[in-house]
Structure 1
């Protein structure tokens, strides 16, 4: 018979990530960035130019590789995209 143990709802905390509390927050911001880009009709190139970042860096963030970027910077990107 199986026995289930319930722990914290944050799987990143269970896996031992140092920034476990920030990862879901960043993921939500990145989702909103994607929605804003689509709503504005921005290409990856357009959005990267507007944000002052490299297209490759933006592409990595949009693919979920945002460990090296702070949530505050992502919020700034979202604000810039939302104001257009």
Structure 2
């Protein structure tokens, strides 16, 4: 779990935002956005990524205003953060 970093702030977006994170080594990564009921609304990443700083765009167009959660999962690390979509 050490040496991983994720933007640790509540994110608000009008239509698009960027989720940033760092990987200390190459690893399998999933980055998924869920609604408050736990349903998957977007699968942003589901593949192996090389080490380094990453930015993933999330386009909230087509989603209702409200609270969502994104979960970043690697082979050694899981982090969940809240995201608020404002239209």
TM-score (structure 1 length as normaliser): 0.28
| Structure number having the greater helix percentage | 1
Structure 1 or 2: larger strand share?
2
